[in-house]
Structure 1
Amino acid sequence: MNFFEFKVEENEEGTRLDVYISSKLEDKSRSYIQDVIEAGNVKVNDKQKKSNYKLKIKDYVTLIMPENKELEVEKENITLDILYEDSDVIVVNKPQGMVVHPAPGNLSGTLVNALLFHCKDLSGINGVNRPGIVHRIDKDTSGILVVAKNDNAHQKLAEQLKEHTMTREYIALVEGVINSDEGTVDAPLGRHPVDRIKMSVIKNGRNAITHFEVLERFKANTLVKCILETGRTHQIRVHMTHIGHPIVGDPVYGYKKQKFKLEGQLLHAKKLGFIHPSSDKYMEFESQMPNYFTKVINVLRNELKK
């Protein structure tokens, strides 16, 4: 069990109890917090309250958080697009639609299920649910990931992520025409204050920086290269929406009406570079845009010719 305690400040008065706790524990969804409250694990001034209780100044909130139950993750014979593999790391090209690791309600068909079938050993630092997973990309984002086969490799790769020395370059098709050739979005990110499934730019969020460069302009869209300086959840998707250019096909942050019939956002992790954990040599990998991505680009190029 994990124990948390908070004291309500003046600027937090009137906030719903479930919203308040969600703002303190950004990795937990609001619905999860509501279940915890209903189970009696949250008290205000030592008394149980409902999720819609409006907090008052100096209210004392305590929370007992149940330990996460480890999931039983099965090995699955799923084809992997392996770009490189040795005794320390495996570099894979993840397809759109594949979740990186299992979670409640989504226990099979993930990259981890496939890795467990393919590899005898994976790093155990992130537990049995996320063995070897150093970093993630969204389900409907395609592209390159590096996975650690042992704890030493995992620690060294994680350190590179922390120090922002790992090269991570994405290709995205966005709505609208970006006039400037390049730019930087420096805007802190956190959980959306109301919709806890979404991320948003918020004042007291975590530092997040995305650099972008225009590769090609079309009548109503722009193809951009995005380079991550930090790696927050949904960072590129939220940042591009923040500057008025959401990613085409994004079901969460994009336009409600889409021109193309897509399964998800046109965002591809094209390039990944890192220092190998054993050899200390820099390694860099690239993957081509998926066919569904290039088909849209070709349609837009043909429109320019008309």
Structure 2
Amino acid sequence: MLTDELYEETMDTQTYQIIVSSHQKSLRLDRFIAESIPRISRTRVQLLIENGHILRNGRVIDKASLKVTPGDILTISIPQRRPLAVEPEMIPLQIVYEDDDLIVINKPPDMVVHPAAGNRTGTLVNALAHYCTTLSTAGGYYRPGIIHRLDKDTSGTIIAAKNDVAHNEMARKFEHRKIEKYYLALVWGSITPSSGVILDPIGRDPSNRKKFAVVPDGKDAETRYKVLADLDFLSLVRLRIITGRTHQIRVHMAYSGHPVLGDSTYGGRTKKLKSLKPRQREKAVQVLDCIHRQALHSYEMFFDHPRTGEPIHVRSNLPRDMCEVLEILGYNGESVC
């Protein structure tokens, strides 16, 4: 859903004239107009009033709270709006793979994938709009090229399409789970057993609708994990998500008692510090100074090319913040940085 912030007004207007009937009950002006004109919100009506676009009996209205009365003649002039153009921006991209159909990026942490309210610029889409000659349009006006997404603070592999044929085929692959997606995460504690499957259903957290949680009536969710390294009070884990629920890895790991390091939403920031030994706590504070987000990274994907059918494997090495944590903890296993 596009918000007012992503529109601009044009010089064209559409005018409505409404005569309040003799049977109309007393209602606030903004509510009455919103109920009388299709596809207009009370918030938009209030903005029209603020800008002097609504008349009652020929006089400009300045209060949305005024009550309508039978016989009132309301004149509403609505400036027509169009979406603001996505602004191409020269933002450096770490390109993992590219051909005529696809481009795969190693997204840095703290980058939003596409424009939305509060984030019109500085997004991956703004960067792609500058770099690519063409991008798919199937994802919508503000999501050219975008087939799937990553949270702002999750780094790593993300695929974009350069044309609608590739976009639609890749979207089908995601829908039918034909793309193998693997993540790397640093989580609190030592995990036993060292590999397994988490099948707990995920839905809205009933106590906080902005969060997700394991709930009895949630959607099926499957996360497969394997511990790559036990790092004293942390573990480096490779995870494969079979389903794609919002915050799936973060919710599943928190529910299992091993929240993702740095994840303040799901208990991965400082909540675990009190359970550590003094020696561990000192090092944990040092680690937390390196990580200011959830230590979760989209590491690699396997899929068949949408046009040629050729098997494709793409991998994005860990960003600096997670590598610094591994250095502090003396990790000397498989190279992931």
**TM-score, length-normalised on structure 1?**
0.74
CA distance 1:118–1:39, shift in 2 (3 Å): closer
Cα deviation, 1:93-152, whole Å, max 9, x if unaligned, reads 100111111111111111001011111211111111111111111111111111011111
DSSP-derived class of the 1:169 partner = strand
Pick the aligned partner of 1:269 from 298, 320, 337: 298
Q: Which runs of 5+ in 2 are unaligned?
A: 2-40, 46-81, 274-284, 332-337
Answer whether contact 1:157 1:274 (CA < 8 A) is retained.
Answer: no
> C-alpha distance in 1, partners of 2:262/2:147?
27
Pick the aligned partner of 2:325 from 263, 274, 296: 296
> C-alpha distance in 2, partners of 1:37/1:185?
44
CA distance 1:266–1:280, shift in 2 (3 Å): same
Give the letter for the 2:298 counterpart.
A
Answer whether contact 1:218 1:300 (CA < 8 A) is retained.
Answer: yes
DSSP-derived class of the 1:292 partner = helix
**TM-score, length-normalised on structure 2?**
0.67
CA RMSD of aligned residues (A): 2.2
> C-alpha distance in 1, partners of 2:219/2:165?
27
Answer whether contact 1:249 1:266 (CA < 8 A) is retained.
Answer: yes
CA distance 1:73–1:289, shift in 2 (3 Å): same
Pick the aligned partner of 2:99 from 82, 86, 92: 86
Q: CA deviation at 1:232?
A: 1.4
Q: CA deviation at 1:38?
A: 8.4
Pick the aligned partner of 2:211 from 178, 193, 198: 198
> C-alpha distance in 2, partners of 1:269/1:133?
16
> C-alpha distance in 2, partners of 1:252/1:39?
33
Q: Which residue of 1 aligns with 2:189?
A: 176
Pick the aligned partner of 1:149 from 138, 162, 167: 162
Q: Which residue of 2 aligns with 1:282?
A: 311
> C-alpha distance in 2, partners of 1:89/1:255?
35
Describe how 1:1-306 pairs up with structure 2 within 5 A.
70-257=83-270, 259=285, 260-261=288-289, 262-301=291-330
Answer whether contact 1:101 1:113 (CA < 8 A) is retained.
Answer: yes
> C-alpha distance in 1, partners of 2:263/2:83?
31
DSSP-derived class of the 1:236 partner = helix
DSSP-derived class of the 1:168 partner = strand
Answer whether contact 1:172 1:247 (CA < 8 A) is retained.
Answer: yes
DSSP-derived class of the 1:161 partner = helix
> C-alpha distance in 1, partners of 2:42/2:180?
42
Answer whether contact 1:85 1:91 (CA < 8 A) is retained.
Answer: yes
Q: CA deviation at 1:37?
A: 9.1
Identity fraction in percent: 43
> C-alpha distance in 1, partners of 2:297/2:42?
39
Q: Which runs of 5+ in 1 are unaligned?
A: 2-35, 41-68
> C-alpha distance in 2, partners of 1:191/1:105?
24
Q: Which has the larger radius of gyration?
A: 2
Answer whether contact 1:81 1:93 (CA < 8 A) is retained.
Answer: yes
DSSP-derived class of the 2:116 partner = coil
Q: Which residue of 1 aligns with 2:25?
A: none
> C-alpha distance in 1, partners of 2:170/2:269?
38
> C-alpha distance in 2, partners of 1:122/1:196?
34
- Deviation beyond 4 Å, 4+ runs, structure 1: 36-40
Answer whether contact 2:166 2:307 (CA < 8 A) is retained.
Answer: yes
